[in-house]
Amino acid sequence: MKKPMIGVLPLYDSNKESYWMLPDYMNAIEETGGIPVMLPLTQNLEIIAALANAFDGFLFTGGHDLNPELYHERVEDTCGELCIERDMMEALLFQKVIELDKPAFGICRGLQLFNVMLGGSLYQDIPTQVHVSDPVNHKQSPPYTNLVHQVHIEKDNLLHDIVQTDIIRVNSYHHQGIKTLSDKLTAAAAAEDGLVESVVMPNQKFVLAVQWHPEYSYKVDDHSHRLFSAFVNACKPLSVDINVEEITA
């Protein structure tokens, strides 16, 4: 079977004005049977449409905070660095991916992007905006292969089908998270402080996002490996059985 070609959204270094990539994103796709290709950041609608049609699936990576203006809020002092180029490119591409029903896997920022693009909102800074009696440490120190807190997984959704259990431990490195969940998404998992940790989009072939970072842990954690494997499998082109006699008749 042909290996799926998977478009990977790049990270951006504003100081160097350059694209860059964490190799674990690429390696995880390659080691689970896909061919990863880093995409350009473009706002050219023709190019974005061509990319959406050409690739079998898309990985929306972590990185910059989303511009709060996208969910109709002013930028707070606690909001991190923004990247308008990423916001615009990913918004346009995500719309085309959904229209074409192509598989999409979001990690960290990717989860937040899916939610915002579908009408949800974010906490701009969890430590200062989320107040619970027993807070979870959502921003761990290295090494990021360590699994530092639990997430509780809802039954009867794509994530549960993949990991086949109700509770897993995950790594965590983020300061933003879902505040208002889009009505087009379903919460698939939550941390012990109630923060949404995974979402799925019903009625799509494969639209799944997680707040943690399985690209760091896929070599040492079976659940993380399963996430990439399920995504890559969803991206595989459907095989078509050809009847030679019908063609030559």
Catalytic residues: 108, 213, 215
Three-state SS across 163-224? HCCCEEEECCECCCEEEECCCCCEEEEEECCCCEEEEECCCCCCEEEECCCHHHHCCCCHHH
Q: Are 53 and 47 in contact (CB under 8 A)?
A: no
127: left (phi over 0), alpha (psi -120 to 50) or beta: alpha
Q: What span, in angstroms and rounded, lies between the C-alpha atoms of 226 and 143?
A: 21
Q: Are 218 and 225 in contact (CB under 8 A)?
A: yes
Phi, psi (degrees; rounded to nearest 5) at 99: -60, -40
